[in-house]
């Protein structure tokens, strides 16, 4: 990592908090590295069908656009040749992760959320701390097709969108700002001891419907996501 960032004196402890896209001045030479606790990471697809990452760190927004058609990565408006390797490494927490807001914002239908992961984009978000899901995270191309079922004639054959969420030392959490019936497309893994996939305040927040997961969860322990009435089966809180 230090070599890709030019081996600054005292690296890595000397690196300031920030968003780094390793390059040689012209070409992208690595993935995306973030040092510090991320206030928000919004993944979305712009009007030109380009994968976009908006990363806010210490109240500073960094926008990274992947322009596959022109083989460019645009960082804060500055183009570099090539695309980053498929990993975003965060040395810290990601306190707000999601795609675009639903339209309308108060919708309870995850179908109203625009896509977060462009159809050709394959990415792993690797974080040393916690990852907090606060919005839907959806593929542009649902691999099940429009009918939502695998193994039927409308399954797309050319889709490549894949998302991995990996925490090496924290938990993956659904936060208190997350919408009802949240939709999450991707494979989620928290590898640390006693780390879990869970819902914040699962036993006190109002019923939020379902967690609609297209992918998988790998953790050492299973975290709580909600409560229900043991006699009636009625949902009492959480998901």
Pair 180, 157: CB distance under 8 Å: no
Q: What is the pLDDT of residue 14?
A: 83
Q: Which residues make Cβ contacts (< 8 Å) with residue 136, sequence separation at least 6?
A: 98, 99, 102, 110, 113, 116, 179, 182, 183, 184
Peptide bond before residue 150 is cis, with ω within 30 degrees of 0: no
Confidence label for 11 from pLDDT (cuts 50, 70 and 90): confident
In the predicted model, what is the mean pLDDT of the chain? Answer: 95
* Closest-CA residue to 163 (of 54, 61, 43, 20): 43
The secondary element (H helix, E strand) that includes residue 111 is none
Per-residue pLDDT at 158 exceeds 90: no
pLDDT tens-digit series, residues 65-85: 999 999 999 999 999 999 998
The DSSP annotation for 171-230 comes to -EEE-TTPPTT-EEEEEEEE-STT--EEETTTTTSPP----EEEEEEEESSPPP-EEE-T
**How does pLDDT run across 181-218, given as a tens digit for each residue?**
999 999 999 999 999 999 999 999 999 999 999 999 99
How far is it, in rounded angstroms, from Cα 118 to Cα 66?
Answer: 10
Each residue of 141-159: b (16+ CB within 10 Å) or e? bbebbeeeeeeeeeeeeee
Q: In the prediction, which pLDDT does 12 show?
A: 78
Confidence of residue 121 (pLDDT cuts 50, 70, 90): very high
Global model pTM greater than 0.85: yes
The proportion of the chain whose per-residue pLDDT surpasses 90, expressed as a percent, equals: 89
pLDDT given for residue 1 in this prediction: 81
Confidence bin at 9 (pLDDT 50/70/90): confident
Q: Which residue has the tokens 């050492």?
A: 220
pLDDT exceeds 90 at position 223: yes
Strand 172-174, strand 235-238: pairing: unpaired
Q: Which two tokens stand for residue 50?
A: 């380009």
Instruction: Check: CB of residue 185 under 8 Å from CB of residue 163.
Output: yes
Confidence of residue 36 (pLDDT cuts 50, 70, 90): very high
Out of 3-12, 84-93, 116-125, 224-233, least confident range: 3-12
Kindly report the number of other CB atoms within 10 A of residue 100's CB atom: 17
- The DSSP letter of residue 7 is -
Q: pLDDT tens-digit profile of 77-115?
A: 999 999 998 999 999 999 999 999 999 999 999 999 999
In angstroms, the Cα distances linking 229 to 203, 206, 232 are 12, 14, 6
């Amino acid at each position: 990592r230090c070599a890709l960032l030019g081996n600054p004196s005292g690296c890595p402890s000397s690196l300031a908090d920030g968003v780094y896209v390793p390059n040689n001045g012209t070409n992208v030479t690595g993935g995306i590295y973030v040092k510090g606790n991320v206030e928000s990471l919004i993944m979305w697809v712009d009007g030109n069908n380009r994968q976009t990452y908006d990363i806010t760190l210490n109240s500073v927004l960094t926008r990274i656009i992947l322009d596959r058609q022109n083989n460019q990565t645009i960082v804060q408006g500055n183009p570099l040749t090539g695309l980053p390797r498929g990993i975003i490494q965060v040395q810290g927490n990601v306190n707000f992760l999601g795609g675009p807001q639903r339209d309308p914002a108060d919708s309870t239908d995850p179908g109203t959320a625009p896509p977060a992961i462009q159809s050709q984009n394959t990415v792993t978000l690797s974080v040393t701390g916690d990852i907090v899901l606060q919005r839907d995270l959806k593929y542009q191309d649902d691999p099940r097709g429009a009918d939502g079922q695998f193994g039927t004639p409308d399954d797309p054959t050319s889709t490549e969108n894949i998302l991995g969420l990996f925490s090496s030392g924290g938990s993956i959490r659904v936060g208190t700002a997350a919408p009802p019936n949240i939709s999450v497309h991707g494979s989620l893994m928290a590898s640390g001891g006693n780390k879990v996939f869970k819902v914040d305040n699962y036993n006190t927040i109002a019923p939020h419907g379902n967690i609609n997961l297209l992918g998988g969860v790998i953790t050492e322990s299973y975290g709580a996501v909600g409560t229900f009435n043991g006699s009636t089966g009625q949902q009492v809180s959480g998901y």
